[in-house]
Structure 1
Amino acid sequence: MTIVAVGLHIFEITRSTFAVSLVALWALGPMILAGFVGGALADAFDRRLVALVTAIAAWCSIGVMTVIAFLDVQATWPYYALAAVNAASATIMGATRGAILPRLLPAQLLPAAAALSGITMGLAITVGPAVAGVLVASVGVPWTYLLDAVLFTGAFLGILSLPRMAPDGDRTAPGFGSVLESLRFLRRAPNVRATFIWDLIAMIFGTPRVVFPAAGALVLGGGPVTVGALTAAFALGALVSGLLSGPLGAVRRQGRAVTLAVAAFGACTALFGLVLLVTAATAGVTERSDAPIIPAIVLAGLALAGTGAADNVSAVFRTTILQTAAPDDVRGRMQGIFYVVVAGGPRVGDLLAGAVATLVALWAPALLGGVVILGIMLVLLRTATGFQRYDAHRPSP
């Protein structure tokens, strides 16, 4: 709900796709810092406490956003700043949760846990964006933020139910030395490093979500409801693939599976861009159209559902490789870097997509980016042989 509400609010204030993409710029630096610092905190202190404190910080950012929206603050910088606080808190919380899971489960259940996390996230971001789109269209942005803040209180319940979770082995005091130690480990861990690089390629070139508000207003029609539907379509694909993910636990060549999943992600992203291109060309759209073009919205939704499914399959294997190959004493910091990539990559992608859409056309970020991803993965399938041979039965960093 937060992602969609902030994007729609910024677009409502500025009528600029590039202004929507600037949410990413404000969040990127704090998120990168939060990933390194949060991972170090998770390797030094009780992981349950770290997750709880950051959940409270994220909730407070949404609460303040709600207040200033009701006060009808039209300046965009407070929303950028609060979105950055929210993103940084979510990065630390996510990294800490990732480090907790391998302590709760045996290694053979980690693929199922990753799939279950995908199902949970799929449910959250299927319902959330759809509700946000409907609420913004019907009752306005402030009330959407308020409901988001109320629902976010549920984030505390799961964390409170956990036992204390101190890291195993020698603890490293959080600081610059701890970060350098994690980077030295990453330099000698090619398989762990590959999971980050593959995801960065997908997210930087395949994140067209900043064009959703303009696509709903100018190309596909339907306004905020269409934006919510498009965002939910991605999550629905992830949810369905998660529900059908049982056989993924039997896959041994998990590196090859990641490569093929990212290639499928690129193909579906390109298909979404092609739908926008054909719709704009055939309809001759030059100004805002309120009437939704249902066939185009359905096709765009199916393409985005495919990207969500492929991304979830990739995430299951990338998460499993990271959690089984990285030892516990650096797992928090590896999870921190993981969440910098997972959360920061799309922000860079937002900036790139906003710039390309502004300079070329709304369809260009998805179509061109998807083709680039597909091409890179086909090359890596033949050249990155070590990662393609990664064996889940003999995990190696």
Structure 2
Amino acid sequence: MTRRSSIFLDTRPFAASRHFTWMWLGALVTGVGNSLTAVAVGLHVYELTRSTLAVSMVGVIALVPTLFAGLYGGTIVDRYDRRRVALLSALLAWVSTAAIATLAWLGLETIWSLYFFSALNTIGATLVGASRQAMIPNLIDAELLPAAGALNGMSMGLVITLGPMLAGFLVARSGFAWTYTVDLALFCGAFLGLAALPAMPPEPGAQHKTWAAIRESFGYIKRTPVVAMSFVVDIVAMGLGNPRSLFPALGAIAIGGGAVTAGTLAAASAVGAVLCSLLSGRIVGWKHHGRAVNLSVVVYGLFTAGLGVVVLLVRGGHWPGGAGTPEQLNPTAMAAAMVMLFGMGASDNVSAIFRNTILQQAVPDNIRGRMQGIYIMVVTGGPRLGDLFVGLLALGAVWAPPLVGGLAIVGLVAVLARLVPSFHRYDASQPTGS
């Protein structure tokens, strides 16, 4: 693997493949819309209930569909033309968003309709994501996969930066119906980006029996501890260190500023991810991917605990200016919280670059769709477990979930590194899962 001297983002995948470029651009545009709607739904539920637990249930209820889409959907990605699967899945996600927007315009939205159509949207998004990631190794050379991961990390960072900020602005100024409608318009990017791709039929001998394919997937994970650990470490980080369900409450009773603060906080970690990707030129040349994942997740846990300390000091009256209100923002508390979220976003981005590269590089093509389905299931399901963790602990105090969860992440990753040393020693120059 060639080590680059520049510290800046490696854009060679764009030059190497116009198909990768079109897919990346389409994912960026539609991702902004998806993120916008996800934040808007959380704010919508909070407005209807004034309950952080109710907000967290948006993710929890979507957990079962995520598991279904990851397991069953991954077999579909390996069994059929991956481009066609991605297009049909994008259509499903668009229809579910259209239903949310229609109900909002008619004034017929309920908590349960928001829960249901958000879960349906998750199914479509999971299948699209698994299809895209499974196609990337067919579009560019293996040497460029870490660079592609950094580009995707920057894309995701921009998505989570622009989407929540736009959501906070639109909800505050125009209401929920207009916010969801903007997502429908942006979603056209998904169809344009995917339509530009060539057909990608399955390899000969693809497994066509669903349950046999699923059993084969888990058998492969059991035999390859490096792949298994790439999933486990992310579940630990996202299950214990995902504070997104707290943001509406932080804007209402802690930092202050209401919906605009909630959207800005949701975007802050993504800003860290974008900055990390922009300066990832040398990072993508690291060969010891497992070690990079472990260290970055430990750093993520420390920044998460730091966010909990900030909220604890604000709620305890030990921060200058005290707790804010929806109309009154505490600017110094906001700045401190954003620094912690910047750090969380940057460290999570490093972890994501190498976890996904491991899956794309070490996993055979005929099972890659299923592994990406499980990966997306983990990436989306872990935060939903985190939503439940936050919702339950926040019943006692809003500072408890990030502080307790962050410290737990640090301890658990240290234990896992000792239990599975092969993951910590993983070398990209010899990409195997054993």
Give me the TM-score of the superposition, normalised by structure 1. Answer: 0.97
Alpha-carbon contact 1:277-1:363 (below 8 Å) kept: yes
Among 168, 186, 196, the residue aligned to 2:221: 186
Q: Secondary structure at the match of 1:154?
A: helix
Give the match for residue 17 of structure 1. Answer: 52
Displacement of 1:285 in angstroms is: 6.5
Verify: 1:303 aligned to 2:344, yes or no.
Answer: no
Please list, as runs of the form range in 1=range in 2, the aligned pairs for 1:268-283 lying within 5 A after superposition.
Answer: 268-282=303-317
> Pick from 263, 276, 281: which aligns with 1:246?
281
Aligned partner of 2:247 in structure 1 is: 212
For structure 1, which runs of at least 5 residues remain unmatched after alignment? none
Deviations 1:79-102 (A, max 9, x none): 100000111111111011110001
Q: Deviations over 1:39-92 (max 9, x none)?
A: 101111000000000001101111110010111224210110000011111111
CA distance, structure 1, for counterparts of residue 114 and residue 136 of structure 2: 33
Instruction: Work out the CA distance in 2 between the residues paired with 1:223 and 1:200.
Output: 30
CA contact (8 A) 2:291 2:425 kept: yes
How far has the Cα of 1:153 moved from its partner? 1.5
Distance 2:241 2:423 in 1: 22
> % of aligned pairs identical?
47
Work out whether 1:35 is the aligned partner of 2:50. no
Unaligned runs of 5+ in 2: 1-35
- 3-state SS in 2 of match to 1:170: coil
Residue 357 of structure 2: aligned partner: 320
**What SS does the corresponding residue of 2:107 show, helix, strand or coil?**
coil
- What CA distance in whole angstroms lies between the structure 2 residues aligned with 1:270 and 1:224? 24
Deviation at 1:190, TM superposition (A): 0.7
| Total equivalences in the alignment | 396
- Give the SS at the match of 1:111: helix
Q: Are 2:419 and 1:345 aligned?
A: no
User: Is the 1:37–1:174 contact (alpha carbons within 8 Å) kept by the matching residues of 2?
Assistant: no
Q: Does 1:390 align with 2:394?
A: no
Distance across 2 between alignment mates of 1:123 and 1:300:
19
Residue 431 of structure 2: SS of its match in structure 1?
coil
The 5-angstrom pairing of residues 92-241 of structure 1 reads 92-241=127-276
Whole-Å separation in 1 of the counterparts to 2:404 and 2:310: 13
Task: Give, in angstroms, the shift of residue 174 of structure 1.
Answer: 4.9
Contact in 1 for aligned 2:235/2:378 (Cα 8 Å): yes
C-alpha distance in structure 1 between counterparts of 2:294 and 2:152, whole Å = 21
The structure-2 alpha-carbon separation of the partners of 1:152 and 1:365, relative to structure 1 and needing over 3 Å to count, comes to same
Work out the CA distance in 1 between the residues paired with 2:280 and 2:129: 22
Distance 1:273 1:21 in 2: 18
Select the residue among 327, 330, 335 that pairs with 1:290: 327
Deviations 1:146-179 (A, max 9, x none): 1111111111111000000112241111511111
**Residues 290 and 334 of structure 1: CA distance in aligned 2, closer, same or farther (over 3 Å):** same
- In structure 1, distance between residues paired with 2:224 and 2:426: 12
SS in 1 for 2:79: coil
Provide the secondary structure at the position in 2 that maps to 1:261: helix
Q: Give the conservation status (yes or no) of the 8 Å contact 2:244–2:387.
A: yes
Q: What one-letter code is carried by the residue in structure 2 that aligns with 1:178?
A: A
Q: Distance in 2 between matches of 1:50 and 1:289?
A: 44
Residue 181 of structure 1, CA deviation: 1.2
- Which amino acid letter does the alignment assign opposite residue 386 of structure 2? G
Give the Cα–Cα distance (whole angstroms) in 2 for the partners of residues 319 and 174 of structure 1.
26
Paired AA for residue 372 in structure 1: A
Are positions 1:81 and 2:116 aligned together?
Answer: yes
- Rounded to whole Å, the distance in 1 between the matches of 2:400 and 2:56 is 15
Q: CA deviation at 1:254?
A: 0.7
Once the two structures are TM-superposed, the CA of residue 288 in structure 1 deviates from its matched residue by 4.2
**2: CA distance, partners of 1:290 / 1:275:** 20
